[in-house]
Structure 1
Amino acid sequence: MKSWYHSWVAAIRIARRDAWRFKGRSFLVLAMIALPILGVSAADLTLRSADLSTEESLERKLGAADARVSDPGMGGTPIYQLPNGESNAPVGNFDNKPWPEGSTDVRKALPAGAKSLTDSTGAGKLHTAHGLLNTEIRELNSSDPMTKGIMVMDRGRLPLKADEVAATTHFLEASGLKVGSTLMARGLDLKYTIVGAYELPDALETDQVNALPGALLAPLNKALEAADLPGTEATTTFLVDVSDGFTWNMVKEVNTKGVMVVSRAVLLDPPADSEVPLYQTEGWGTYENSAAADAAALAVAATVIGLAMLEICLLAGPAFAVGARRSARQLGLVGANGGDRRHIRAIVLASGLVIGVAAAVVGTVLGVVLTLALQPVLEESFGKRFGSFDVRPLELLGIGLLAVLTGLMAAIVPAITSSRQTVLAALTGRRGVRRSSRVLPSIGLIAVALGATIAIYGSLMTDQFIVVAGGSAIAELGVVALTPALVGLFGRIGSILPLSPRLALRDAVRNRGRTAPAVAAVLAAVAGTVAIATYAASQDAQSRAAYTPQLPHGAVSVMLDEAGGRDVPAVRATVQKMLPIDVRADVDRISVGKTSCSMYDGGEGCGRYEVIVPRANECPLWVSDPAKPDEDPSEKFTLAERRKLNDDWRCKTDGRSGEILIGDAKLLKVLGIEDPAAEKALAAGQMVSFVKANVDKGGKVAIRLITDNKAADEAANLGKEAPGEIKSFTAHEVAGAPDAYGVGLIMTPEAVKTAGLATVPYGAYYSTDKLPSSEQRQRLDSELDKTGSNVSLNIEDGYTSENDIILLALTLFAGLVTIGAAGIATGLAQADAEADLKTLAAVGAPPRVRRTLSGFQCGVVAAMGVVLGSAAGVLPAIGLRLTERRQEMAFYERALDEGWGVGSMPHVPILVPWGTLAALLIAVPLGAALLAALVTRSRGSLSRRAAI
């Protein structure tokens, strides 16, 4: 035991001395191992710090209060709720009854002796230095101790008077205001002074101002109602403080009065599932990841970690191998002085141990420093503050041990190889004649065949992505094992090459111990890149085919659905002025009820219209029997009848009737619809329909005017028709059902006036001379923001791929790994073949040969790795796409059988990104060769002749 201990101490001392003597090689290996450790440790610290504890989360939501109580809007009907308060349901069955709704008095439901504090939130447009900004308005007495932790003051103080407000730092940055500025709301003459700036730790990018209860929201609503403008609907919750905490029994007691609670005590000590009434009702339950899903996720994580470690080992292994060869004489002396193979292996393994420990320490320390340095930036990026800096020593120790293990694994093969050398060969520097082993290529060939079989089976016979991914990983590892043999095959083309590339290829084939790992590392990186790039390009082609434009290419639309269209003329003129407009088509909308109501406003006095689709035009698969509203209409048909009905034009639509716009023939021109008959119909006062289902057999379109939204909703819940006046219009159906970009019907202003319908300005459509530039769009957005209105602006510039940047990033990543691995192999080759380079110089080779040879050595490694990696990377991508195609086809067939009306067959293309492959196959090896040639010195340094 003592001898074993002392031998390892000596081995570590020798390894530490060698690492210090050869600093360049040691730093290279240390950096390769430490960089992943730095990234993983920084990610661990960041995720742990960003993941708030229950106490920290409660402090931001509840402050110092015991609970937050709210009205779920069920009119006081008893409810069941989840312990975390995220969901609730009324007690009882409401399948055939109106769903409970309405407000309740929350204060009456609070326990006796409880102290409460109102927290109301609404929205309004506030005047800023630039114009108007839609801002969240909060009324909370933030100076009360119960609110501590909800708002964090940055500067100034909290509001103490009715004419004072505090604002978030993000609002002050966006508005151009500062502490001490005067603030006014649109439509309200009152002035408020900003006395402080604060931030919401969970929502740093929120534009919010805080006032005392009743100081801003109530006066603003009153002023807006007086101006016949839509008011702001405030949501009020209550912070509650009780003497002994808000227990689960108290929560259930409050639930009986129709009130919901988020309790500190309950979240810190949740009740058992058996004590939660909501879990006992039908259709509810606790949902957790299945064991299979957890196992699959674990398998994916293990695969990623394993491949990352393999990549590092493949890059670091040759460095240890060359280091062992450079220290062969020293290792031979150990053997000559009585050391056996165990001691030789221990010395080389100790090199991996020393570098691994150093990498673990350096990577972990840098990870901590990087996390602390980037935390403010990450918090701003995530939009929320992290919790306490959470350091898990065991996790960091595990990450560090991963570095040590990687270093040891990278040194295993060089250690075994070095220990097998005889003392004489080590002292003389002779390597002897070595034959390639046939075991590893055989194993690799078997792994390739097995992995490919599993991947093909997974893509054709199962729906499990993990099967395809697992088979592809096995096949890739098999190709890695085959790499030495494949490098030998590449050597056969050397006879047709000029001198420098022939020497480079011969050197790569002769020294497969350092060439094969570098090629395998490039192979692994390129294979992953090609797989992801092929999958992303295929998905991009699918998304491009499925893309639905909102307008013709280059067209613009602007809509404003508020305040009765009061600001629409100004918005129309602004767009006309700021963009290169060709044709402008103004549109209005039908207004039912108060003109100040928006289209979807359910407030008092507000109504809506709906297009009545004739029953004969409805898909039979979707039409239910009024006497049996709960019966699935598709069940009345056989499987063959359902498949046949899916080809019926009535079942190929999406069931929508489209929007009615009030406009003229200019709108047809902007939408790109060339139909002289439609223009004549508009001129004759007829309605134009782009949806076939809207028009009955008599050529009429009927619309229902609903003046009572609440009554209409109740009728819909009971399966009845909504009450309302019905108006009928003669319509022209545009043949061929062209794409009208969501517009279902067009009427002229004269036809609407004749029908006695009220209209309000809605917006405009524009065609442009050319697609607006980014600068023009920014200026337009700035001008529209100054109006203070919620303007909906749409500029159609066609499908925009989100994968272009991903493909570029993948190409750059693979290129960097390729150049790095090839550069490592080239540097090791130069260190290993210094004697050969001196021989070339001695026989008269010009200095440029050294530079040229270095470039070709790097290019050869890069080219071999890229070619093999490209071939290996296509397999998993094709397998995954075939699996997705099978899944979508299965869903499509099921939809046909069930009568869902899914339309056309799924389109799941497989597309190879030839641009990315070309960059990898041509640009990367060429760039690696040129870079290596540029950084290599033309002349080598003179050295003394080694003593024999």
Structure 2
Amino acid sequence: MSTAVQERPIALGSGHGGMAARRAVARWAWRLFRREWRQQAIVLALLALAVAATTVGLAVAANAPSAAGVFGTADHLVSLDGGDPRLAAGLATLRGSFGTVDVIEHGNKVPLPGSANGFDLRAQDPAGPYGAVMLHLDAGRWPQGPAEVALTRRVADALGLRLGGVWHRNDRDRTVVGLVENPLDLRDAFALVAPGQAGAPSRVDVLIRATDAQYRAKPRPDGASTQLRPGGEAGAASVLVLVLGAIGLLFVGLLAVAGFTVMAQRRLRALGMLGAVGAGHRHIRLVLLANGAVVGGAGALAGAAAGAVGWIGLGPLLEEPLGHRIDRFDLPWAAVLVAVLLAIVAAVAAAWAAARAAARIPVVAALSARPAPPRPAHRFAALGAVLLAAGLAALVLAQQTKVPYILGGVLVTAVALLLLAPAGIATLGRLARHAPLASRLALRDLARYRSRSGAALAAIALAAGIAAVVTLTAAVTVAKAAAPTGGNLPADQAVIWLSDGGMAGPVPAVEGPQLDTLRTRAAAIAAAVPDAALVPLVGATDPAWPLDRGGRPVAALAKPHEPGPGQPGGVVYSSRDMLGLFVATPELLAHYGIDPATIHADTDLLTPRASIDGYDVVPGRNSGWRPVLQQVPLPAYTSLPNALITEHGVAALHLSSQPVGWLLDAPAALTATQIDRAEQSAAAGGLSIESRPTGRDQAELATRATAAGIALALAVLAMTVGLIRSETARDLRTLTAAGARRRTRRALTAATAGSLALMGAVIGTAGAYLAVLAWYHAELHWLAHPPLLNLAAILAGLPLAAYLGGWLLTGREPRTIARQPLE
């Protein structure tokens, strides 16, 4: 009688060994890294580059322009009218309510030669409790007494003054004793005098440190305007940089998966020996996880150090563009640490995929270096489809404004592309039977090593997808610029503004000779455009509103909204539904073909709207205004007049007229060259130009993004194909021994590169198109004209370049057939 004995397969790693075994395995992993770090140099370099770029980006975000140049270290800025007889009582009220305050007196704006915006005459204590950080002495000393002044370098150069010079103004001489600056706002042009020496101030700012609840609970003077220090700008920018850094690290992690998988396959026999002598599953995983942690730690620390050193050298160069002084050693270390940890986590996660697969290979299969069978791709595809749907839904719900939905949608969509990649590799394997012999071998080889190929395909798809997103969004911008209606301005018009912000901020109050000079400069700008007409634009301002940097905001119609978190009490107004009030001057009425005789005597507002119910007049004291309307045809452009206030309305609201700029009307669409020349002339004359975007910059950006995406994808392909060819060197030797010609070897590499590039381009472009459709779901008509050349470059040019590169750069016959790499 015989008994059949069934042999049970011995899985790789069934022992335990305790802490001693784990230490021994970790030491072996460290020696493995030291011996083979050159094979992982690409992953190390990419990790270091990603962390370095994130570090510099975090430093720039932390040093972005903020409100500190106006608020100093205070939380609230209260502005009082300097001509109000209740000024002293108001200051006493604020001191009684909040104790320590910092008072800054502003005199009338002083004209600055060569600019529409004058400079501020400011009386401020250099040692003030909250405003001291807004002052820095570059040379000389602080002014003392009524006959001394300190100037910023811009003001001193414009006035032709140096230390020891005498500034003569309004029959008063002041000696320049110092050169100063606002280190938090280098564009701040002012003359500083000692406290109390500004004469009769036009405005008094009071800096207060208090929470919003404390501020609301305390008595405040009547007629004061309050500004609350905006919060979270740097934090939101840092979060955005970290999200972009995480996407970059995801891209690097995908490449690392391929690298760690190849290393695991190369060391499969050594791992099998560990299992044969009793190493457990977790010991086998620990070998690769420790290697991943070492690679991630080394790359992250090197990248953080390189980023910090780069920022130390780059910081001074960014002071002028950012508009404030930069402490080069004041890095956001907490955010940098998060970036370092993200890099280590990305490397460990990349190693985990290879470690998990290696630990599940039976001992005999490991000793024979036989690869593990690929896992079914439909599981990853199902999860990827679910995540893709979730990411697209988040982009739809974001409404192009909700930051959490935007960031979540972008990240989830990127992860979905990763999970859809194995399905693409499986598709290539199914198509192999229809291909020629060499291409069939290449495609089946990709399907055989699916974990490695899928990670590389995901990286290629991500690179192609980013390029496609930039290209598609740029095409939308170009389409909007080419549209005959809508937008800020028609193509044949431009606006020459007195203020850099147009009507969105304080407009300098200019009159007399200074206005004549600026009018002459605007006429010179218009003269450079053949047959162009110049129409003056006049806004309505509230004379009772305190001067802000020598100007006042233009009155506008706006809808009140409930304040959001961190905003002061009362109501807030959004610029999205705000209509600037232009004065119905005879020149403007004639330009739009409106006969003044047809305007009724009691009309307050000329507008194409049937009603302005729910709108307030801001800034001012005129909430709930119910004007008499008269409907007239006006252009539907956001920067052109859509509401004209008549002289009757100006008088009814106790407003005043103030020039805000000139409308340049050309007989034909303005060319990019004409716009560039106008912008240069305006900048030289202290003016600013607003024109309709031509889309030229966006088109150039799309071209560059397409080229960069293709170059990045080709770099990924070069690395991937190199890994694949090194791993299949034994098969290549066998083919050579069997008589395979150089053409066959070329076809193997070319088919591998071309198929990966084609599938990556298709997946990336499809994902990008779905994301853009979700983003512009409410205005899909802008996507009616896709950028065919750019998309063709991605979908056809990338695979063709990959195939030709693989064909031309390979095919060399192995030097020896029998030599095997040492384990």
TM-score normalised per structure 2: 0.69
In the TM superposition, what is the alpha-carbon distance from 1:366 to its structure 2 partner? 2.9
Contact 1:564/1:760 (<8 A) preserved: no
Structure 1 distance, partners of 2:137, 2:716, is 51
Structure 2 distance, partners of 1:490, 1:704, is 71
For residues 119-268 of structure 1, what are the structure 2 equivalents within 5 Å? 119-127=105-113, 131=114, 134-140=117-123, 148-160=132-144, 164-169=148-153, 171=155, 175=158, 179-180=162-163, 182=165, 194-212=176-194, 234-237=202-205, 262-264=207-209, 266=210
Structure 2 distance, partners of 1:50, 1:236, is 27
What do the CA deviations read for 1:808-835 (whole angstroms, capped 9, x no partner)? 5654554354233322211211211223
Do structure 1's residue 519 and structure 2's residue 519 form an aligned pair? no
Residue among 228, 249, 268 paired with 1:328:
268
In the TM superposition, what is the alpha-carbon distance from 1:183 to its structure 2 partner? 7.0
Query: Partner letter of residue 917 of structure 1?
Result: L
Partner of 1:445 in structure 2? Answer: 382
Contact 2:25/2:286 (<8 A) preserved: yes
Distance 1:178 1:415, change over 3 A: farther
Do structure 1's residue 563 and structure 2's residue 511 form an aligned pair? yes
Contact 1:537/1:912 (<8 A) preserved: yes
Deviates more, 1:329-338 or 1:466-475: 466-475
What do the CA deviations read for 1:55-78 (whole angstroms, capped 9, x no partner)? x9999457xxx99986367967xx
In the TM superposition, what is the alpha-carbon distance from 1:701 to its structure 2 partner? 7.5
Query: Partner letter of residue 586 of structure 2?
Result: L
Partner of 2:713 in structure 1? Answer: 818
Partner of 1:689 in structure 2? Answer: 594
Aligned residue pair count: 724
In the TM superposition, what is the alpha-carbon distance from 1:658 to its structure 2 partner? 6.9
Residue among 731, 737, 752 paired with 1:857:
752
Unaligned runs of 5+ in 2: 1-14, 221-225, 499-507, 546-578, 606-618, 645-656
Residue among 477, 481, 486 paired with 1:547:
486
Partner of 1:26 in structure 2? Answer: 40
Residue among 735, 758, 761 paired with 1:866:
761
Do structure 1's residue 6 and structure 2's residue 20 form an aligned pair? yes
Distance 1:298 1:876, change over 3 A: farther
What do the CA deviations read for 1:159-194 (whole angstroms, capped 9, x no partner)? 45756533324556x749674485767x86767664
Distance 1:826 1:376, change over 3 A: same
Partner of 1:875 in structure 2? Answer: 770
In the TM superposition, what is the alpha-carbon distance from 1:850 to its structure 2 partner? 5.4
Distance 1:917 1:909, change over 3 A: closer
Structure 2 distance, partners of 1:298, 1:569, is 44
In the TM superposition, what is the alpha-carbon distance from 1:400 to its structure 2 partner? 3.6
Distance 1:657 1:402, change over 3 A: closer
For residues 70-469 of structure 1, what are the structure 2 equivalents within 5 Å? 71=80, 103-104=87-88, 119-127=105-113, 131=114, 134-140=117-123, 148-160=132-144, 164-169=148-153, 171=155, 175=158, 179-180=162-163, 182=165, 194-212=176-194, 234-237=202-205, 262-264=207-209, 266=210, 310-385=250-325, 389=329, 398-431=338-371, 435-438=373-376, 440-445=377-382, 447-448=384-385, 452=389
Distance 1:138 1:492, change over 3 A: same
Compute the RMSD of aligned alpha carbons: 5.9
In the TM superposition, what is the alpha-carbon distance from 1:416 to its structure 2 partner? 2.9
Structure 2 distance, partners of 1:150, 1:773, is 39
In the TM superposition, what is the alpha-carbon distance from 1:519 to its structure 2 partner? 0.7
In the TM superposition, what is the alpha-carbon distance from 1:377 to its structure 2 partner? 3.8
In the TM superposition, what is the alpha-carbon distance from 1:380 to its structure 2 partner? 3.8
Distance 1:818 1:342, change over 3 A: same
Structure 2 distance, partners of 1:918, 1:566, is 55
Query: Partner letter of residue 368 of structure 1?
Result: A
Partner of 2:502 in structure 1? Answer: none
What do the CA deviations read for 1:330-367 (whole angstroms, capped 9, x no partner)? 33333444445443333222221221222333233334
For residues 431-510 of structure 1, what are the structure 2 equivalents within 5 Å? 431=371, 435-438=373-376, 440-445=377-382, 447-448=384-385, 452=389, 477=415, 480-494=418-432, 501=439, 503-510=441-448
Query: Partner letter of residue 379 of structure 2?
Result: S
Contact 1:12/1:354 (<8 A) preserved: no
Contact 2:397/2:405 (<8 A) preserved: no
Query: Partner letter of residue 661 of structure 1?
Result: P
What do the CA deviations read for 1:861-902 (whole angstroms, capped 9, x no partner)? 2221111122233333323433x46xxxxxxxxxxxxxxxxx
Structure 2 distance, partners of 1:49, 1:7, is 49
Partner of 1:836 in structure 2? Answer: 731
Structure 2 distance, partners of 1:871, 1:415, is 32
TM-score normalised per structure 1: 0.61
Query: Partner letter of residue 516 of structure 1?
Result: G
Do structure 1's residue 781 and structure 2's residue 682 form an aligned pair? yes
Partner of 1:254 in structure 2? Answer: none
Deviates more, 1:362-371 or 1:321-330: 362-371
Distance 1:538 1:44, change over 3 A: closer
Distance 1:120 1:493, change over 3 A: same
What do the CA deviations read for 1:541-591 (whole angstroms, capped 9, x no partner)? 46765635656616787999843578648844884598445436576899x
Structure 2 distance, partners of 1:148, 1:468, is 39
Structure 1 distance, partners of 2:682, 2:245, is 46
Contact 2:381/2:422 (<8 A) preserved: no
Structure 2 distance, partners of 1:509, 1:42, is 40
Q: Percent identity?
A: 23
Residue among 661, 667, 684 paired with 2:586:
661
Structure 2 distance, partners of 1:478, 1:490, is 19
In the TM superposition, what is the alpha-carbon distance from 1:937 to its structure 2 partner? 8.4
Contact 1:855/1:928 (<8 A) preserved: yes
In the TM superposition, what is the alpha-carbon distance from 1:319 to its structure 2 partner? 0.7
The SS at the match of 2:139 is: strand
Unaligned runs of 5+ in 1: 77-101, 222-232, 238-260, 279-283, 290-295, 591-597, 605-653, 674-687, 706-712, 723-732, 746-757, 786-790, 886-905
What do the CA deviations read for 1:587-615 (whole angstroms, capped 9, x no partner)? 6899xxxxxxx9758499xxxxxxxxxxx
Contact 1:568/1:763 (<8 A) preserved: no
In the TM superposition, what is the alpha-carbon distance from 1:200 to its structure 2 partner? 1.0
Structure 1 distance, partners of 2:521, 2:70, is 49
Which structure is larger by alpha-carbon Rg, 1 or 2? 1
Distance 1:935 1:205, change over 3 A: farther
In the TM superposition, what is the alpha-carbon distance from 1:318 to its structure 2 partner? 1.4
For residues 715-754 of structure 1, what are the structure 2 equivalents within 5 Å? 742=641
